[in-house]
Chains A and B, each alone.
Chain A
């Protein structure tokens, strides 16, 4: 099946710094990717929809200036957590749908665990 890759899988940073997480579709082109956030023992919450060549659309309550999303190519979306603080520590997961697939399945990356000290 289609593969979505995330990098890094985990990252530790100091408070106030910015961290970039990459999401790649390895064997298909994705005009749209989705970024989710998951706190320990909780469900996945959609943060934003990343659109290739245009601005991302953010869910209600998500600070677009804090979580910068860039979808520069059909296989890469990036999430930058700016001026990170301990409360931003979380598991960030991206997803994408293979437009060539007939099932509508959404493929998820392995996730990126961010710890802000």
Chain B
């Protein structure tokens, strides 16, 4: 019940295309859903996050779509760029905002020029 399942494991997108990464969770106590971007040899950096009271959040080229009833959320990267090539992790945290993030398995994104 603590798992966050992420797909796909890897993704190749042409420059200018849309990258879509999906995550699903089981624990309904989760109420904070961040997405992190990680470059090789670096720590993860927060991209965007959402709480269940909204179904979509957009920041620049990054959008989170959230489906509470399906317990799923996804990251959309519009106009994907080669600089977006990285590993992306979804995560979830409990309602008490413990800070004990449960991470998805990660998606390696490659954006081809």
Contact = CB atoms under 8 A, between A and B. Distances in A.
Contact of B44 (A32, A42, A49, A93): A93
Contacts of B34: 105-106
Interface in B44-82: 44-46, 49
Nearest to B45: A108
Contact of A46 (B97, B101, B104): B101
Contacts, number: 57
Interface SS of chain A: strand
B interface, size bucket: 20 to 34
A115 to B, nearest CB: 13
A60 B97 CA distance: 20
A54 interface: no
A43 B104 contact: yes
Most chain B CB inside 10 Å of its own CB: which residue of A43, A45, A96, A110: A43
A100 interface: no
A interface, size bucket: 20 to 34
A41 B10 CA distance: 11
A103 B49 contact: yes
B2 to A, nearest CB: 10
A93 B103 CA distance: 13
